[in-house]
Structure 1
Amino acid sequence: MARAKISAPKGVSEYVPPRSRLFEFVRESLIAPARLAGYQLMELPVFEDTELFKRGVGESTDVVSKEMYTFTDRGDRSITLRPEGTAGAMRAVIEHGLDRAQLPVKIWYSGAYFRAERPQAGRYRQFYQVGIEAIGLDDPAIDAEVIAVADAGFKAIGLKRYRLEITSLGDAQSRAAHKVDLMKFISTLDLDEATSQRASINPLRLFDDKRDEMKLLMSKAPILMDYLSVTSRTHFESVKTYLDALGISYIVNPRMVRGLDYYTGTTFEFVHELLGSQSGIGGGGRYDGLMHELGGQELSGIGFGLGVDRALLAAEAEGVITQERFVSDLFIIPLGDSTMIRALEIATDLRKVGKSVEIAFGDRGLKGAMKAADKSGARYVVVLGDEEMTSSVLQLKNMSSGIAISVTIASLADEL
């Protein structure tokens, strides 16, 4: 009796060849601008003490209250698979004393994150992000740089049909003044018990409620940007001035709050017009009180998380990324065991100079090997038989045009 197949858990995003090449390209394109801006890699665990996310992300958020994968380990400790990257990065900065060295601390990271959400297109229970954090200075120029790094990543992929939305969630003085009037307004609403509880913890969460009836109710609520202190307003205006100078277009969205409680001051989101309800492809903001909340110094920080899965979906929707972009340079067909050693030597030498080379393995005949070369999408193919071994001359066939030219083995790299 045949054993039943085991499938991947529901709601995870898996990438297998050939689409995995596209995923890798998108991820590396999002990382590259951070490296060029001096951000350094931070590799973090995929699970943390649950208290980190309760204190760091906020117990009023859907992420903490509804979406975390939490379990008790063998040591009777409450452990959670990371639902986002900033809290873990901040924990590591504090634990390893990076905040005691040169500031700002500039780090990047990437990997899998986990949320127990209802799976749908662009929303997964395991998803992938690229993130950066700049920690230690409250400087609007850093805000602009962080936004510019994200924008450069999306442009490197080739995306065009997205927009940047920005706002300011103000400083403590701004939020305190706004909260007084916001709570008065909320007190006039007929809310269910769960929503009232969320509002008592953080009333801004109601702006992030996705229900149509709540959107309608909150459309008349007082807006935090109308309560910004002089300091907060000056900071936000400076950020806009820097973005204007960099040629980065944006829309001010005064109702944006995002889904994590630690955001303060400059907050932003990138939205793609072809992804429907799951249109956010990345975002972030400043988190001035997070380090202190997690037991560290009173230092400011700003960062972002960019969705690799959604950026890939956006690239495919725009048609700016195709499989043909990632084919091999050369496919070598050795005829018989006697030529395999030479084929391996040629492939190794070409790979050393950056050429992508595949070899036809196994005992398939010439016809089968040519079919394999065609399916691989390789730009060129050569057949290596006894005659070619003796003369050191190959017929280099262009797989698109079908035209073949004679080249020496020594000149292969130049011809490719």
Structure 2
Amino acid sequence: MIKRIKGTQDIYLEEMKYWHYVESAVREVTRLYAFQEVRTPIFEATELFKRSVGESTDVVQKEMYTFEDKGGRSITLRPEGTASIARAFVENGFINLGAPMKLYYMGPMFRYERPQAGRLRQFHQIGIETLGSSHPTADYEVIEFAMSLLKRLKIDDAKLYINTVGCEKCRPNYKQALRDFYADKIDGLCTDCKRRYDTNIMRLLDCKVDSEVAAKAPSIHSYLCDECSKHFNELQELLKANNIDFEIDSRLVRGLDYYTKTAFEIRAESLGSQNQIIGGGRYDGLVEYIGGKAIPAVGFAAGIERIIMVLRSMGIKPETEEIASVAVLPMLENAFTLAFEYARRLRKRNISVFVDVMERNLRNRLKHASRIGTKIVVIIGEEEIEKNLATVKVLDTGSQFKVDGDFMASFVEEKLMEL
């Protein structure tokens, strides 16, 4: 038997209800906040991610699915969504459509890493991006959106953590302070920290292995330029004024090179160590890095699998989805033509219909109709064909009616409204 690839999953039946629940909430909140959907390819030129995410990051160095296509081009399955949105912004001339551009996406991402709970090789993200505004109100709205989404999903154990990672003006001094701090400690650090010391020094702050050392490292807040300090303070004031609780985490740096100024995470305490469900921040240089004009931007991404883990841990169950409101059961070989005609009439009234195409007795047909959530069945046998009738049965009550075939659709519609 051919099996699915390690680190991927099949999503079906009961599990699918959670996905529909999350996706429906995303679409509703994006509508309320006036974000427009963008769909980008699942593979891009490798250079896009090297240039935007950063060649020294774990994503680029260890986790990307990269291959050479038949034209000799280096192609990478997208490991995250923001770089693709920025590329689409530049390539399609979104800058000419006015600012800010408020965009969102949903779809699969790919990273080659050790599969574990909430971490797959093919995973799915939702994300929003606001491009064009450098003001902290844009940062605030993105965070408010994230909190509104979780509220709509009934996730109430999530906590917001914020930080600033500075900018190109003040970050070099902070990086040097970190190198000085870690210089005499490097031999005792983990393998990843030893590598990051030379390539991505700020990532040492969020190392889970050497967290006790990181806790004593200097804080970036002592090295911020006036612009970054002002931006961060204004964001805090906005959050306070709008009653959004938060905690400052000076070790929160995020794992991608394009972040500037604001960085934030929302963590679900119920998930333990793998508790981040939403992460984002500002990336004012990204559009310029990939060949566009200097456009400020801010956004976040959330893992759908992680969100569903939280829903399950909290005992939140989406409402049962009915597959069809009505089942049409043709009991004879020559009843199928009429069965499909009845189904067409019902569907014109926006009623979902399941036509049973199996050869089995009435008892088993009724049993299956009940299993898929059907409320009413329409039975077509010999008498129904001869006399232009339909036998309508309401499953919950067991009540049964003989109805003229010409009035079947309106009768079923009325019965559904009564249920």
TM-score using structure 1 length:
0.89
Q: Distance in 2 between matches of 1:255 and 1:264?
A: 14
- Equivalent in the alignment of 2:281: 285
Aligned residue for 1:256, secondary structure, equals coil
How far apart are 1:388 and its partner, in Å?
5.7
1:198-213 counterparts in 2 under 5 A?
Answer: 198-211=196-209
Letter of the 1:114 counterpart: F
1:316 to 294, 309, 312: 312
- Equivalent in the alignment of 1:415: 415
Q: Distance in 1 between matches of 2:409 and 2:235?
A: 56
Conserved 8 A contact 1:42-1:107: yes
1:6-405 counterparts in 2 under 5 A?
Answer: 6-191=2-187, 195-211=193-209, 214-322=210-318, 324-385=320-381, 390=387, 394-399=391-396, 402-404=397-399
Deviations 1:365-399 (A, max 9, x none): 10110121122133444434455675756544244
Q: Distance in 1 between matches of 2:259 and 2:327?
A: 51
Root mean square deviation, CA, Å? 2.5
Q: Distance in 2 between matches of 1:144 and 1:413?
A: 47
Where relative contact order (Cα < 8 A, 6+ residues apart) is larger, the structure is: 1
Letter of the 2:394 counterpart: K
- CA pair 160-325 structure 1, distance change in 2 beyond 3 A: farther
How far apart are 1:315 and its partner, in Å?
1.6
> What is the percentage of aligned positions where both structures have the same residue?
37
Q: Unmatched 5+ residue regions in structure 2?
A: none
How far apart are 1:175 and its partner, in Å?
2.0
Conserved 8 A contact 1:199-1:206: yes
Q: Distance in 2 between matches of 1:243 and 1:326?
A: 41
Q: Distance in 2 between matches of 1:164 and 1:76?
A: 45
How far apart are 1:354 and its partner, in Å?
4.2
Letter of the 1:202 counterpart: N
Q: Distance in 2 between matches of 1:89 and 1:120?
A: 28
How far apart are 1:359 and its partner, in Å?
2.4
Conserved 8 A contact 2:17-2:318: no
Q: Distance in 1 between matches of 2:341 and 2:34?
A: 38
Conserved 8 A contact 2:345-2:409: no
Of the structure 1 ranges 101-110 and 186-195, higher mean CA displacement relative to structure 2 is found in 186-195
How far apart are 1:153 and its partner, in Å?
2.5
Conserved 8 A contact 1:31-1:153: no
Q: Distance in 2 between matches of 1:347 and 1:317?
A: 41
Conserved 8 A contact 1:31-1:130: no
Q: Distance in 1 between matches of 2:110 and 2:330?
A: 46
How far apart are 1:245 and its partner, in Å?
4.5
How far apart are 1:307 and its partner, in Å?
0.9
Letter of the 1:397 counterpart: V
Q: Distance in 1 between matches of 2:55 and 2:262?
A: 22
Letter of the 2:296 counterpart: S
Aligned residue for 2:34, secondary structure, equals coil
Q: Unmatched 5+ residue regions in structure 1?
A: none
Letter of the 1:157 counterpart: L
Q: Distance in 2 between matches of 1:22 and 1:157?
A: 10
Of the structure 1 ranges 42-51 and 335-344, higher mean CA displacement relative to structure 2 is found in 335-344
Conserved 8 A contact 1:379-1:398: yes
- CA pair 381-250 structure 1, distance change in 2 beyond 3 A: farther
How far apart are 1:128 and its partner, in Å?
0.7
Q: Distance in 2 between matches of 1:131 and 1:374?
A: 38
Conserved 8 A contact 1:360-1:372: no
How far apart are 1:323 and its partner, in Å?
6.4
